Amino acid sequence: MTVLAVTGTDTEVGKTVVTAAIAATQLSLGRTVAVVKPAQTGIGSGEDGDLAEIRRLAGGVSTHEGVRLPDPLAPDTAARVRGLALPSLAEQRDLVGTVAGRHDVTIVEGSGGLLVRLGEDFTLLDVLAPYDATWVVVARAGLGTLNHTELTVRALRSAVERGLAYA
């Protein structure tokens, strides 16, 4: 069981395309592949979101969504605006664990950047803390990228050093 985490320096930096490319590569190697998106925002029910794009680009990948919220905001804010409850940290961890137990490779694509809240008090780092995940950081091409990337990588390294994530 391999768990890969795809995070970004920001929103709209290409995480979904990178996730699809990794999924397609793993599929081409004969592995069973799943993608988990703990929270998808800015997409209404019945609309195609990131997971549909991954299936379109990568093909036969199993996809799983933790929660979908219509407002294009951080998941905790989008839920609060609508008065909705988000899946708990335990529920998000269980989703990843269940999916990972059924596939050779499970890719977990975050929302926005590394420290975006997926619940009231947790991030993707917290969701993946129990797993020996390999992290991929996606950065946009443009001015400010080096700083955003360094900040993201430092936060990730700090979490690894504190035992909150694996490298």
Confidence (pLDDT) at 165: 62
The span from the CA of 139 to the CA of 158, in Å, is 19
Confidence (pLDDT) at 17: 97
The span from the CA of 146 to the CA of 149, in Å, is 5
Confidence (pLDDT) at 142: 85
Catalytic residue among 37, 93, 117, 148: 37
User: Which residues touch 102 (CB under 8 Å, ≥6 apart)?
Assistant: 32, 34, 62
Residue 15 is among the residues annotated as catalytic for this protein: no
Average pLDDT, the chain: 93
Q: Indicate the CATH number for domain 2-161.
A: 3.40.50.300
* Cα–Cα nearest to 127, from 136, 118, 135: 118
Amino acid at 47: E
Residue 164, pLDDT above cutoff 70: no
Q: How confident is the model at residue 11 (pLDDT cuts 50, 70, 90)?
A: confident
Confidence (pLDDT) at 166: 57
The CA–CA distances, whole Å, from 98 to 22, 90, 92, 101, 154 equal 20, 12, 10, 5, 30
Helices (H) and strands (E) in the chain, counts: 6, 7
Confidence (pLDDT) at 161: 83
